[in-house]
Amino acid sequence: MRSNMTHSMTTHWTFHPHFKPTQALAEHLVDAHKLRHKRIVEIGCGNGAFLKLLCGRGNNTGKGFDPSFPDDFTPMPGVDFVKGYFGHMEARQGFDFLCCRHVLEHIENPLAFLQRLSRMSATSPAATFYFEVPNGDFVLGGEGLWDVIYPHVSYFTEETLPALFKRAGFQVLAVGKTFSGQFLTIEASVSGRANNASSDLQCQRKSEATTAYMNSFATQFAKAVRDWSACLTHLSEAGKPFAFWGAGAKGVTFLNLVPKAGHIAQVIDSNPRKQQMFVPGTGQHISAPESLRKAPPSAIILLNAAYREEIRLSLAAQGMKPSIITRPNYPA
């Protein structure tokens, strides 16, 4: 996939309907980059589940780095984790593939981070790098407006992300969208040469559209708050029991900012680490999906439409068929 690529190209791929997103992504990367019996590094590995998928599907060895890495409760042969940062000493050991998902948007100076990574990786000139970040145009354009949160200090577009990598000394192999356009992906290799001029030109190509998104964002956000507030009022007045699904970043923002959302009785999340906890700010109790069987709702509010079918099938298997509302004007 790399040998004939000398410039950025846009790629699009979709998830197999029977796979969860991370499983589909692992399949794609292993097949696309021939990751079999290779050495893989993951920066910001979280709980290590994705690295294990990559290693398991290609008989690879892997090493994950994350200062907040929890204990490894399900060890896997050939996969190790470091509760710390990826540095020069680790880079000198060499690797074939490095992935970093949903980390770059949290880094205060992403250019300095990538420049350092490029220099450190000179000992692995044949390695491929895969990064994944939120799609800035998707967020600012209105579809993902609930993703404007303080831990995200940067947002990237299809133009600015490759420009950033080129400035840092990478050769961009491919740029794409995934997860219904919500995420941007970039595949690169170390070129050792910064390219500021072409990066500046590329950034200008779509700046007008991104600027328009930014200029209208406040208006769009205010309208979304009003519309959702009216939707909640309608559901309450109709006497229909409803639940809210998703206590992540989007959900916390929604529940704290939309009038009456902080009083929704049932807040659901499929992540076991969030269950039996409470929503920051509003203090709403977070329950597991199974709890809905005690009092089945007639409607569920879901901010991320990409999960709609998965949730619908999961609830149907438990004998529940509530309306799933992903937009405030969606009929309940």
Domain count for the chain: 2
Are 153 and 250 in a shared domain? no
| The pLDDT of residue 332 | 42
Left, alpha or beta for 109 (phi > 0: left; psi -120 to 50: alpha)? beta
Contact 58, 79 (CB under 8 A): no
User: Strand, coil or helix: what is 139?
Assistant: helix
Tokens of 192: 């050792």
Q: Which residues pair with 176 in a beta bridge?
A: 11, 185
CA distance 130 to 99: 5
Contact 136, 160 (CB under 8 A): yes
Whether residues 105 and 68 share a domain: the answer is yes
269 pLDDT more than 90: yes
Q: What predicted TM-score, i.e. pTM, was given to this entire model?
A: 0.85
For residue 235, tell me if it sits in a domain. Answer: yes
For range 254-267, the mean pLDDT: 95
227 lies in the same domain as 199 = no
CA distance 177 to 332: 31
User: Tens of pLDDT along 148-207?
Assistant: 999 999 999 999 999 999 999 999 999 999 988 999 999 999 986 666 555 555 555 567
Report the mean per-residue pLDDT for the chain. Answer: 88
**CATH number assigned to the domain comprising residue 82:** 3.40.50.150
The pLDDT tens digits for 272-287 are 989 999 999 999 999 9
Question: Is 194 part of any domain?
Answer: yes
Give buried/exposed letters for 10-27 (b at 16+ CB in 10 A, else e). Answer: ebeeebeeeeebebbbbb
Q: Is 214 contained in some domain?
A: no
Domain range for 310: 222-325
Cα separation, 192 vs 271, whole angstroms: 41
pLDDT at 71: 84
In a domain, 2, yes or no: no
Residues 182 and 53 both lie in one domain: yes
For residue 259, pLDDT over 50 is answered with: yes
Backbone phi, then psi, for 279, in 5-degree steps? -70, 125
Residue 25 has pLDDT above 50, yes or no: yes
* Coil/strand/helix, residue 188: strand
What is the pLDDT, as a whole number, of residue 137? 93
On the question of pLDDT at 142 being above 90, the answer is: no
Residue 192, by phi and psi: left (phi above 0), alpha (psi -120 to 50) or beta?
A: left
> Residue 15 — pLDDT band, cuts 50, 70, 90?
very low
pLDDT > 90 fraction of the chain, expressed in percent and rounded? 78
In a domain, 231, yes or no: yes
Same domain assignment for residues 185 and 279? no
Cα–Cα distances in angstroms (integers) from residue 161 to residues 39, 138, 187, 255, in the given order: 26, 14, 11, 31
207-231 confidence digits (pLDDT tens): 778 888 888 999 999 999 999 999 9
